[in-house]
Amino acid sequence: MRRALILVVIALSTVASASQQSGWLDAYRPTADRLITAAQANDFAWRRLAELTDTFGHRLSGSESLERAIDWAVATMKQDGLENVRKEPVMVPKWVRGRESLELVEPTRQSLPMLGLGNAIGTKGAPLEADVVVVRNFDELTTRSASVKGRIVLFNAAFTSYGETVAYRRSGPSRAAALGAVGMLLRSVGPTGLRTPHTGATVYEDGIPQIPAAAITAEDAERLQRLQDRGVRIRVRLSMEAHFEADSQSYNVVGELRGRERPEDIVVVGGHFDSWDVGAGASDDGGGCIATWEALRLMKQLNLRPRRTVRVVLFTNEENGLRGGNGYRDAHQAELANHVLLLESDGGVFDPAGFGFTGPDGARRTVTTIASLLRPLGADPILASGGGADIEPAGSAGKVPMMSHVVRGDYFLIHHTPADTIDRISPKQIAANVAAIAVMTHAVADLPWRLGTEK
């Protein structure tokens, strides 16, 4: 009996201690309610995303459409009343797709949907016609190495996860070329979906011949696999005009809501403003840019000025160079020590599902407590790790805590495809994501202590 009473007292003490530790959260509940209500009151964020994607379309680095969209963003942020709005210069690569096509020559003549891989070379002014050897993975490529020379290799790797399957897109061309292949085809990196090819960047390894590389649909990759399994000769004709031109001037877009007490301390939110040259870049990553930008606009509209500065950054050149993220790190090297948190939204704006977090344990406890305000949105989970391609350079250099915005949805079904349009996103979804990002960002920026200094 005595032991049971002791256990009850310990349990009650633990509950009381936890309640005291999170008692500070009560001050943020009314503000969270206001932000959530304002975000979900209308379809403003969806309409702004529609304006971006309808007016400018896709926004590949080095393109006129990207630079026009950047100028629009700067002008519109100023109209929103954001502060210190500016363009920060970044030189970006200019890869041009040009005309391209893929034709099945044997066993029958038929045009096949395809997309050249970003940063790939072309076929040097003439179609490349060759037999095809199909492999499912790198091990099978090694096993069949004797049959690769002079042929086009097709990697028919079924999609498991993006992190795992993307290896075939990035290093497949060089792995095949090292064995004498003259070209590479890739089963698109994404779930099977209505015979849609997916583009994306490839990386050529130094010292290995560069060969043309393109993605085909999952359905066509399986068709060619079946033909090979039956012993049927497969021959294709690939034509690509892809090439690089001289680097081009671009910019990161920056806007702020200056902190009322510690303006030198900065919470950064954002996404990448460039996209591939297919679709409209709505989910990748127009939606992330608009959702993070909208978080600041709502704070301004509701006259919510947190203790620290909140800065939105629309990064350039994530897709085929990462120069926007590296450029931000370099331009702000002197103030990285004042960065409190870096939050990136680059996974779509479907149903919100929480945030990934990388940082000290004490900071994790703080953001987990804040996230409890987002339970009605389904955005309360704080997952094992957070980050993003654009914030990673600054986060690593400055040892700054990082968060990634997480959603549930068919992101990789439309990722890097012509189907990446606003029609896949509902006004309700993007509004809920705006609400989640705004609440988390405001609370972190307004904490009485600096995130990461918890004991």
- Cβ 69 vs Cβ 52: under 8 Å: yes
Burial (CB < 10 A; 0-12, 13-18, 19+), residue 410, is middle
- Cβ 213 vs Cβ 202: under 8 Å: yes
User: DSSP readout, 386-451?
Assistant: ---TTTHHHHHHHT--EEEEEEES-HHHHTTSTT-SGGGS-HHHHHHHHHHHHHHHHHHHH-SS-T
**Token pair listed for 203:** 């990386």
Q: Determine how many CB atoms are found less than 10 A away from the CB of residue 231.
A: 6
**Rounded to the nearest 5 degrees, what angle is found at the Cα of 223, between the Cα atoms of 222 and 229?**
85
Mark 334-362 as b/e (b = at least 16 C-beta within 10 Å): eebebbbbbbbbbbbbbbbbbbbbbbeee
- Cβ 169 vs Cβ 202: under 8 Å: yes
Q: Give the length of the chain.
A: 455
Reference 115, options 99, 126, 135; nearest CA is 99
Amino acid 179 reads L
Amino acid 133 reads V
Amino acid 386 reads G
Reference 297, options 89, 142, 83; nearest CA is 83
List 318, 319, 344, 392, catalytic entry: 318
Is 318 a residue of the active site? yes
Residue with tokens 């960002």: 441
DSSP at 201 = B
Active site residues: 318
